[in-house]
Structure 1
Amino acid sequence: MEKRLPLAGTALALIALPLAYQLHSTTGGGPRVEIAADREAPAPVPQSLAPPSQPAAKPAQLAVRKEMAARAAPPAPAPAPPVAAVAAMESAADLYAAQEAAPPPAGAVMERNKVSGLTSEPSGDRFKSFDESPLKSVASDPVSTFSIDVDTASYSYVRASLSNGILPPPDAVRIEEMLNYFPYDYPAPTKADVPFSVSLAAFPTPWNARTELLRIGIKGYEPPAAARKAEHLVFLIDTSGSMDEPDKLPLLKRSFALLAEKLGAEDTVAIVAYAGSAGVVLEPTKASDKAKILSALDSLDAGGATAGAEGIELAYRLAEQSKQDGAVNRVILATDGDFNVGIADPDALKDFIRRKRDDGITLSVLGFGRGNLDDALMQALAQNGNGNTSYIDSYAEARKVLVEEAGGTLDMIAKDVKIQLEFNPALVSEYRLIGYETRSLAREDFNNDKVDAGDIGAGHTVTALYEITPAGKGVEAMDALRYPAAKPAPEADGDRAGELGFLKIRYKLPGSDASQLIETPILQALVVPTIDAADADARFAAAVAAFGQKLKGSNYAGTMSWDAIRSLAAGAVGTDKGGYRAEFLRLLPIAEQLSDAR
């Protein structure tokens, strides 16, 4: 029988929330705040984003809420504006005042997760279960192969959970998506035919004095504004009854209004709704007719059971009507997790999306709300559609994904991108890839162009971290082999003697089925003696990895404290355009308090 903690556990978790409420009174917004000298006063929270009504609280809970209210005194909610008005918001205060900072419902019960020992609320959201990447011996398994991943849904989901006083389930914590959420200042390529550059770094591991971290950074090519492709988009929108919550359809409508506002005159938008108001809501329409597009979005209402009819076929039919060679032709599916879009069988749905991808129409998936997400299916559909997955938990996140990073979200510059790294046993005895568990590939898959892999959008950055154990220092976690493989004579190594390993990246250009190869040695000379000597991007990535490992209860997290993680991240904030690293710092004490209350 599953053990549950009493409601007092919920009250303990809520103690962390005054931090988030204080941010409203001191920074003019929710946890996500842009750093700006000319900050405006906070705008009222729209009614549609205000917390839902809650059942009567017990005295202990009332005491916690009273203390929270006394510290924050947030402004009274105002009537929700139409999507056209929200789309016109420009100031940081306007954007971030709409953050949801509601505590969990009074009846929420916390449960102890059997894997990590941390407490989390059973939400109904579904995540693919996976085992953490293990430590491997270079002597017996020297080659690591994986597909890149540019999705960021995990970090957004983790942030939303913590901001609501809830520890996310361990399987929701995918460290690669947390790393890739943040922009990094990697050098950019200068031409599209070599669509990304590679940046390497190596430095001591902050949570394990015996090992080192190897950072592989990739930066995607970003075309100049004059070379921007036309975008022909179809919004496939879930309007089932479960979407009738403030952080679902109302937020979805405002998110798509943001995207519509940034489109150019040559772009088109079509809208298909499934379930409550199934059918074509808007035929392909020039983006210059913004009033018509925003009016169509405003007309959407949630209600009824999820009955997709032929929603997915209809969306692709409209996409084919406006499709142009050399343009971005994409369906964007937005849902809280109801995927009954007309093809009930998940495998058949993935096959359908894969066939349409091969015809030049890609798919992205946006998740909204809590309680019904099928994260694994979201990931699978987007991967089969050569698209990406994002979790939109706030208006600010919608702006990041659909405006600030629109090129990376919509414009693919390379597909089926795979990484393979062979370690040199003379210098590295053990290694483990941090994250990317669900993106692992067999060694032979690297050279097989029929094996699907991840895709990179314009301007995207991808970060991967390996924790490596230097050879010859006697600090290995595994015993040496009794019968080691025969080593080549020293002279056979030649100039390879100073290589930690050899990196290979395979990719295809859009429209091509033949892969190309980038190769580079990873030199031992890269390793700096202290973590302080590493660049700010490398140190911040290490802090994010340490945070993810600690949050999910990793076997490899070591004894690094929350304070040490905070100190490492704080020293690597840098210019922080958008304030995303500062926001990460504000999540750390919340995660610490919730973990201590488990």
Structure 2
Amino acid sequence: MTDDLDDLRAALKTAPAPEADAKARAMQLAMENFDRLNAPLQGSADAPRSSEDRHKAAPLNGVRRMFHNLTSRPALAATTSVAALIIAVAVILPVADLRIGSPTVAIAPPKAEPTPPIEPVAKTPVTEARAPDPDSATGGTASSVAEAEPPVAPTVATGTDAPASVEVAKPMATVTATDELQRRDLGNAASTLAQSQPAADAEAPVEMAEEAAPVSPAMDGVLLDAEPRLRAEAKAEGDTMAFLPAPATSAPDAVAPPVENTEAYANEAPNPVKVTAEEPVSTFSIDVDTASYAVVRSSLTGGYLPSPDQVRIEEMVNYFPYAYAAPEGEAAFAATVSVMPTPWNPGTRLVTIGIQGALPKVAERPPLNLVFLIDTSGSMEDANKLPLLKQSLSLMLSELRPEDQVAIVTYAGSAGEVLPPTKAGDRAAILAALENLMAGGSTAGAEGLALAYQVAEGMKADGELTRILLATDGDFNVGVSDPDGLEAYVAKQRETGTYLSVLGFGRGNLDDAVMQSLAQNGNGTAAYIDTLSEARKVLVDQLTGALFPIADDVKIQVEWNPATVAEYRLIGYETRALRREDFNNDKIDAGEIGAGTQVTAIYEVTAPGSEALLNDPLRYGTAPAEATAGELGFLRLRWKAPGEDASTLVETPITGAEPASTETRFAAAIAGFGQLLRGSVYLGDWGWDQAIGLALANRGEDAFGYRIEAVNLMRLAQGLSN
């Protein structure tokens, strides 16, 4: 007994202070249960002694009887149980959920002697709340509502061996929208769990912590329709569970996650129309890359339109060879200018500037030291990546002279030299090294570049050219913590005479932005290889132009005459724009022209007074200059001879009398093709039919089928656009 009292004292000391209202309710419930609990000690359980009789008893007898009863072990056990009940109820009531379906609370007092069984208190039925009929204009109730099961009252065990229990009266709970949602969610969860069990367990009942009140079929149908409203009502009642969606009634089918596309492209917003009186000078670097056209072709033949950032119009135009006039004498290149009406806007004209590089004889070119820097990371395992790369480089070997040297450096998780410098005449050794390449690991691109430059440095000799040809999908993911630092490193290496060109392979993770940056800073070119035919075009037909530059840092500047040109816009070259002052600064890097290479640039110009003008004249603007012999503008070209620090300047007027040719009209069709893909706002009603017709009418000589392929790509794009 002493132990029991000590336990009770400890419980009283550690119990938290109850709230006043909760304490009052608990005390009332405890007193009612105390009367029922002590009924067997005061008389028959069937006829408990009334309160009135107790008041009539003699005070002394009452005190003696009370003392006797309280000091007996059964009574003491009962008293201890009631005290424990008071403490537990006072603590639990402030936080217990008294709604329908709350779990039973069992309170175990200190071990005591069994007491005689006591009749349970009659249960009070609770009626299920009626849900409003959504079809009723007055918000009536459903016609059939089932009675809910009464709540299970907490039980008080009088000992571990005592079979009897006392049910404590519990306040009646009101069924709310939250209660009904909990009932439905619990039922749905049980249904889902049962459906997910194997067939052998289908008959086994699902054990649940609490039993949901049954609802008639009619009521259940109403609740199915009213569930969104019930959740809103439950949320208004402050129940946080109402914010959660109802459990799914069936497990969803497994869906494979989509393959992530991590492609990145270097591009800018299209050049705007500029007012000549405000900004008469346009300056940019040339661009001989062709990667964008091949990427566009890959997208269209794959059955989808390219995104606008994949389309660099100057690279699409420069993809095709043009029959421009060749330079005379010792000149490095020649410029050809032509003017024609704009196909998509009769109120403007197109001014096309074509540059043709000189093509030296093969016997006159110096020996070549070539380092193949090959990405063999895990991302290169696709058939259109490393396998196509091997075939492409094998084609290239036929264009090398026996005295040229080839080395192979690979990089994946780490970089390594697969083939030391080997004469191109030893084709078997080079082909064997290529064939043994396997894809796997991450992409340590920075480490690979460093090793390639180290190998190239060891191959150099006076009078020879040294080039690095990087073949990759552009997915550099190891060792490139500072992209700007990588670009600066490549730019520094070009000062040693080792240039870097880039070949892109594959789709899905093609990092065109990195490829463009490396090629531009490395004084090389960027191409994309999507087919073996493209590999032959780039690495066989155009190899000389890609590896043997005839002019470095080539810049173009056009000054437009405000008297004859009120507005102009440059089509393409958004990523090659230069400031006006950069033109005369020989420290500013620009693009290179390879042997036999053509470069094309197209302006759309608008004459003063034309209905096609897009800008209103300034009220206080500068008066237009007088026409100078009918000139539209003045063309300036600046470039450096390879290895030289000082530039050379060439100037020529644009008179407007230069006739257009089949070559320039086909170039205009390709410029229109690119603008259609980018969704240009300057084309008006001009569309795919007009672009296809213009290209077909000016196909000209097409020895390798490049131009008819472009027409077919336009037709594909037209079909995909509808």
The two structures have a TM-score, normalised by structure 1, of: 0.76
Q: Does 1:515 align with 2:647?
A: yes
Q: Distance in 2 between matches of 1:270 and 1:203?
A: 49
Alpha-carbon distance, 1:342 to partner: 4.9
CA contact (8 A) 1:238 1:273 kept: yes
1:360 correspondence with 2:467: no
Q: How does 1:86-97 map to 2 (within 5 A)?
A: none
When residues 446 and 203 of structure 1 are mapped into structure 2, their CA distance, relative to the original with a 3 A threshold, is same
User: Residues of 2 paired with 1:108 and 1:185: CA distance?
Assistant: 50
Choose from 465, 487, 499 the match for 2:631. Answer: 499
Distance 1:564 1:483 in 2: 41
- Work out the CA distance in 2 between the residues paired with 1:282 and 1:449: 38
CA distance in 2, matches of 1:341, 1:182: 36
**Alignment pair present for 1:173 and 2:292:** no
Q: 1:129 to 1:405 in 2, by over 3 A?
A: closer
Q: Equivalents in 1 of 2:678, 2:260: separation in Å?
A: 16
> Corresponding residue for 2:280?
142
1:231-277 CA-to-partner distances (Å, cap 9, x unmatched) read 11001110001101000000001111111222101211000000167
Do the aligned partners of residues 184 and 204 (structure 1) sit closer, same or farther apart at CA in structure 2, a change above 3 Å counting?
A: same
How far did 1:465 drift? Answer: 0.3
* Alpha-carbon distance between aligned partners in 2 of 1:591 and 1:499, rounded to the nearest angstrom: 39
Q: How far 1:122 sits from its partner (Å)? A: 7.7
**Equivalent residue, structure 2, for 1:86:** none
SS of alignment partner, residue 632 of structure 2? strand
- In the alignment, which residue of structure 2 is the partner of 1:575? 701
Q: What residue in structure 1 maps to residue 590 of structure 2? A: 453
Within the alignment, does 1:560 sit opposite 2:698 as a pair? no
* Aligned twin of 1:214: 351
AA partner of residue 266 (structure 2):
K
Aligned letter for 2:462? D
Question: Which position in structure 2 is the counterpart of 1:187?
Answer: 325
* Alignment root-mean-square deviation, CA: 1.9
| Matching of residue 543 in structure 1 with residue 702 in structure 2 | no
Distance 1:346 1:267 in 2: 33
Query: Structure 1 residues 485, 134: CA separation in 2 closer, same or farther (over 3 Å shift)?
Result: same
- The equivalent residue for 2:657 is 525
Matches for 1:390-405 after TM superposition, within 5 Å = 390-405=527-542
Question: CA separation in 1, counterparts of 2:427 and 2:481?
Answer: 34
Letter in 2 for 1:161: S
Please give the per-residue CA displacement for 1:191-234, whole angstroms capped at 9, x wherever unaligned: 45x21100111000001111110000001111012212211100
Kept in 1, the 8 Å contact 2:414–2:448? The answer is no
Aligned match of 2:620: 483
- SS of the residue 1:324 aligns to: coil
Residue 577 of structure 2 is aligned to residue 440 of structure 1: yes
Structure 1 pair 157/187, CA: closer, same or farther in 2 (3 Å)? Answer: same
SS of structure 1 residue aligned to 2:566 = strand
Q: Show the 5 A alignment for 1:95-494.
A: 123-192=261-330, 194-275=331-412, 278-308=415-445, 310-340=447-477, 342-487=479-624
Q: Is the 8 A contact 2:266 2:516 kept in 1?
A: no
Specify whether residues 294 and 344 from structure 1 end up closer, same or farther in structure 2 by C-alpha distance, changes over 3 A only.
farther
- Equivalent pair of 2:281/2:560 in contact (CA under 8 Å): yes
Cα distance in 1 between the residues matched to 2:393 and 2:298: 20
1:595 aligned residue: 721
Q: Is the 8 A contact 1:143 1:421 kept in 2?
A: yes
Which sits farther off after the overlay, 168-177 or 258-267? 258-267
**Equivalent residues of 1:274, 1:309 under 8 A apart:** no
- How many angstroms does 1:278 deviate by? 3.6
Listed as ranges, the gaps of 5+ residues in structure 1 are: 1-105, 110-120, 529-533
Gaps of 5+ in 2: 1-254
**How far has the Cα of 1:179 moved from its partner?**
0.4
- Percent of residue pairs bearing the same amino acid type: 57
Aligned counterparts of 1:196 and 1:478: Cα–Cα separation in 2: 37
Are the aligned partners of 2:296 and 2:311 in contact in 1 as well (CA < 8 Å)? yes
CA distance in 2, matches of 1:156, 1:279: 30
Cα distance change on mapping 1:196 and 1:341 into 2, 3 Å:
farther
Deviation at 1:340, TM superposition (A): 4.7
Cα displacement (A) at 1:301: 0.3
Larger Rg: 2
How far apart are residue 158 of structure 1 and its match? 0.1
Check whether the contact 1:277–1:302 (CA below 8 A) recurs between aligned residues.
no
TM-score when normalising by structure 2: 0.63
Asked whether the 8 Å contact 2:354–2:598 carries over to 1, the reply is yes
Q: 1:576 to 1:302 in 2, by over 3 A?
A: same
State the AA in 2 paired with 1:150.
V
Amino acid at match of 1:588: M
Asked if the contact 2:338/2:656 (under 8 Å) is kept, the reply is: no
Q: Which residue of 2 aligns with 1:116?
A: none
Q: How many residues align?
A: 468
Compare 161-170 and 298-307 and name the one that shifted more. 298-307
